[in-house]
Structure 1
């Protein structure tokens, strides 16, 4: 079984749901699907994470930029409950944000404090979170693009 960062069906879900909800592409349009998936994982100049629909959602995807920023490798980040990306005092605010996205489909311009594996705090800025809904309307989780962060 391919890891999700190499899975064409997951890449289509991630990028297709983004484009359907936001009306713009997530990756450069001149790339083949395989090259686009590799670019998003290896080279994208922004962090991108996705979690599943479990009662306590777990990250199922985190590109190299997200891994570097949060301080986890692929195996670690894809075993991490997404709530643990925020400190306990910030989890309630994060949960309210996730619930708004569930109602509206996506939300842009979000900022909030997050925490690395080593406990370092940083601010995510101008983040966009969206529902990963496939072409048949089935919800598979939520994803976020984080274009900018700053240390606290």
Structure 2
């Protein structure tokens, strides 16, 4: 395990890591049929209808990826999101529950249909719902971090 370097928003290698890991760990795809390569990187960052975030494996994991849908949902721009401790996506009282959940994902590999309370930059509280959270594992089996695909969210 090491600290994953933050990619640029449309780095093909990182989208390949996200997608290949999702396929290996979850057994599904999140890309539309026929979308791959540089087109996949742009689509995932700019047009995906779901929020996608990833953090590294540092002792206090930090975000290394957040697509535009995630940025709108959490109200942070790319430069604000990247490097921010992922624990800050939950309010202080909810961080312990979030930490235990993420440890569970680490043990199990992934969790589908997750629901949890989160907080945006403005202080707006919202529920993430129908989320998939998985271990970001490269082709060699090395844990690179964890990622979350948020299908729905509603204001709390």
Q: Is 1:146–2:150 an aligned residue pair? A: yes
Question: For 1:41, which of 33, 42, 45 is the aligned residue?
Answer: 45
Indicate if the aligned counterparts of 2:51 and 2:70 stay in contact, CA closer than 8 A.
yes
1:85 aligns with: 89
In the TM superposition, structure 1's runs of 4+ consecutive aligned residues that sit over 2 Å from their partners are 2-5
Structure 2, gaps ≥5 residues long: 1-5
Distance 2:7 2:112 in 1: 28
1:51 aligns with 2:55: yes
- Quote how far apart the aligned CAs of 1:7 are: 1.4
Query: Partner of 2:139: helix, strand, or coil?
Result: coil
Normalised by the length of structure 2, the TM-score is 0.94
Q: Distance in 1 between matches of 2:51 and 2:24?
A: 20
1:60 paired residue number: 64
Matches of 1:21 and 1:55, distance apart in 2: 23
Q: Which runs of 5+ in 1 are unaligned?
A: none
> In 1, Cα distance between the equivalents of 2:93 and 2:29?
34
| Counterpart secondary structure, 2:126 | strand
Aligned length: 152
CA distance in 2, matches of 1:83, 1:32: 31
